[in-house]
């Protein structure tokens, strides 16, 4: 079984999704049981992948035993294993929250949820650009279904914008792939990395144009300025568990930029080495700054949560664009932290709306169980702002310490200013939601709009996500060692390229 470990995080959720479709008419309880079986199995597989990758070995898996240049190849290194682990941990918490009753509101919820996990894992494990596109489409198709299931009114409108935006991005992706294949004759990332330095001078402009299209697509997925305008409203309108899972979608874009451009335009790319990094740093700084201003302008907690996701995306692109092992390692640690903390904030939004009816922060209303939702919000805010002692402080601090001298002033000032903006915005929102008491009694609300007690599973899901951050704080040393080692593999991709190019099919006797 260990020989097939790289493909199992893709096959396992696919099998679970198929089984759920077969038993859908037998009730939600059986679907939930299968969903938990899928989540538990995926978590065990992801832990096994991390243990395998932590040895430093890079594993190549050739589907159908075809050569990597002709077939589908999967790659497992520290980066891909880390991303699969983050996905499985996030998926388990989102599933717990959805099983409190949200999954009844959307047809085929559990099957689509598993397909979403399959697409995410495939994107992290694939070793060629075309199959990266394929897995992008799988996870996007599943997200369309999750986002629009049971939708009406505003969610339909924002969902339509989301679909149109991503279809346009997918079209650009295909055009870029076609140009890349026409120039280099392959879409295998290791083969592309070996071929970039040998491109004829007259074709370099076309290669840069193709890479530029891919960069635009990945930045659109990663919600980089000015391609992020769709995100706050779209995520804010989604069901809570769906919004929490969608947090990692922006990380897919950041991952794709890091993986593709560190391989194709690394130190061995000749005159094209470092292509795009000089553009990504100012883009990340601008994204982070605008996201911080967006948190100040937000009048709904769910919109504020969307801008928090954008702030994390900007921080990631800053870290990755520095292109050093230390900065990339710090960014990968921050990636996991920000994914869990932002997902927790989206679930807290649902808790607030149960206890208070509305998440508007510009009005003062009574709130039920303020100690519970307020306490969880307080912990999430500390983590997201980056205050000690939680993992957000460690993540931002390590990013700042990894910033080289030429960029210190811009990066430090932007990160610190944005953290201050978020401190003001989240403190103001928290005081109005949980602290201030209305001067006049609120008018009686209709029974369907009265505050209700949150199901225990919703609260436990939030505690679980925040608990991940606590664990990351306690285990910061080993985790940062792992992510720095992942960064070293990325800035020196020779082992990755050689592993892919030298792995041969296993010939079997008939």
Give the per-residue pLDDT at 420. Answer: 96
Give the per-residue pLDDT at 150. Answer: 64
Nearest residue to 36 via CA among 19, 53, 59, 55: 19
Alpha helices in 126-230 (DSSP H): 129-148, 154-184, 189-196, 204-221
Give the per-residue pLDDT at 270. Answer: 74
Give the per-residue pLDDT at 438. Answer: 60
Judged by DSSP in three states, 229 sits in: coil
Give the per-residue pLDDT at 366. Answer: 63
Neighbour tally for 208: CB within 10 Å: 16
CB burial readout 235-265, b (16+ within 10 A) else e: bbbbbbbbbbbbbbbbbbbbbbbbbbbbbbb
Q: Is the dihedral of CA 416, 417, 419, 423 positive or negative?
A: positive
Do residues 79 and 333 touch, judged by C-beta distance below 8 A? no
Give the per-residue pLDDT at 448. Answer: 47
Give the per-residue pLDDT at 510. Answer: 40
Q: Splitting the chain (510 residues) into consecutive groups of 10 residues, what average pLDDT does each group show?
A: 85 94 86 93 96 90 79 91 97 92 82 95 93 94 85 76 90 94 89 85 89 93 87 86 92 94 82 82 94 92 93 94 93 96 94 76 67 90 93 94 91 95 93 71 49 77 96 95 94 86 64
Q: Is the dihedral of CA 64, 65, 69, 72 positive or negative?
A: positive
Give the per-residue pLDDT at 444. Answer: 46
pTM exceeding 0.85: yes
Give the per-residue pLDDT at 398. Answer: 95
Give the per-residue pLDDT at 124. Answer: 96
Give the per-residue pLDDT at 377. Answer: 93
Secondary structure in 3-state letters for 321-370: HCCCHHHHHHHHHHHHHHHHHHHHHHHHHHHHHHHHCCCECCCCCCCCCH
């Amino acid at each position: 079984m260990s020989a097939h470990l790289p493909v199992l995080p893709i096959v396992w959720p696919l099998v679970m999704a198929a089984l759920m479709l077969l038993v859908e008419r037998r009730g939600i309880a059986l679907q939930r049981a299968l969903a938990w079986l899928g989540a538990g199995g995926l978590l065990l597989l992801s832990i096994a992948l991390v243990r395998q990758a932590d040895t430093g070995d890079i594993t190549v898996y050739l589907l159908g035993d075809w050569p990597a240049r002709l077939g589908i190849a999967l790659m497992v290194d520290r980066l891909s294993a880390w991303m699969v682990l983050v996905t499985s941990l996030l998926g388990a918490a989102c599933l717990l929250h959805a099983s409190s009753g949200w999954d009844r509101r959307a047809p085929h919820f559990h099957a689509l949820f598993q397909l979403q996990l399959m697409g995410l894992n495939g994107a992290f494990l694939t070793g060629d650009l075309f199959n990266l596109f394929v897995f992008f489409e799988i996870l996007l198709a599943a997200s369309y279904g999750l986002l629009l299931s049971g939708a009406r009114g505003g969610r339909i409108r924002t969902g339509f914008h989301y679909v149109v935006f991503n279809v346009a991005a997918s079209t650009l992706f295909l055009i870029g792939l076609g140009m890349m294949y026409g120039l280099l004759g392959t879409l295998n990332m290791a083969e592309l990395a070996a071929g970039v330095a040998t491109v004829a001078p007259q074709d370099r402009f076309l290669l840069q144009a193709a890479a530029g299209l891919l960069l635009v697509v990945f930045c659109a997925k990663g919600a980089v300025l000015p391609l992020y305008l769709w995100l706050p409203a779209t995520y804010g309108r989604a069901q809570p568990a769906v919004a929490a899972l969608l947090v990692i979608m922006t990380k897919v874009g950041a991952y794709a930029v890091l993986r593709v451009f560190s391989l194709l335009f690394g130190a061995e790319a000749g005159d094209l080495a470092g292509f795009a990094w000089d553009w990504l740093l100012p883009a990340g700084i601008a994204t982070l700054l605008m996201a911080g201003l967006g948190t100040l302008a937000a009048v709904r907690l769910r919109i504020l949560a969307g801008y928090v996701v954008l702030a994390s995306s900007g921080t990631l692109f800053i870290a990755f664009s520095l292109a050093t092992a230390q900065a990339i390692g710090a960014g990968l640690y921050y990636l996991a932290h920000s994914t869990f903390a932002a997902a927790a904030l989206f679930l807290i939004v649902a808790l607030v709306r149960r206890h208070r009816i509305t998440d508007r922060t510009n009005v003062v209303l009574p709130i039920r169980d303020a100690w519970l939702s307020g306490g969880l919000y307080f912990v999430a805010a500390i983590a997201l702002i980056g205050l000690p002692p939680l993992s957000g402080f460690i993540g931002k601090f390590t990013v700042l310490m990894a910033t080289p001298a030429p960029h210190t002033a811009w990066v430090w000032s932007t990160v610190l200013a944005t953290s201050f903006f978020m401190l003001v915005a989240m403190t103001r929102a928290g005081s109005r939601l949980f602290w201030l008491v209305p001067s006049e009694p609120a008018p009686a609300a209709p029974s369907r709009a009265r505050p209700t007690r949150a199901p225990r599973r919703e609260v436990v899901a939030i505690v679980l996500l925040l608990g991940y951050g606590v664990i990351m704080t306690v285990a910061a040393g080993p985790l940062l060692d792992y992510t720095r080692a992942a960064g070293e593999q990325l800035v020196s991709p020779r082992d990755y390229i050689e592993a892919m190019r030298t792995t041969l099919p296993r010939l079997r006797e008939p």
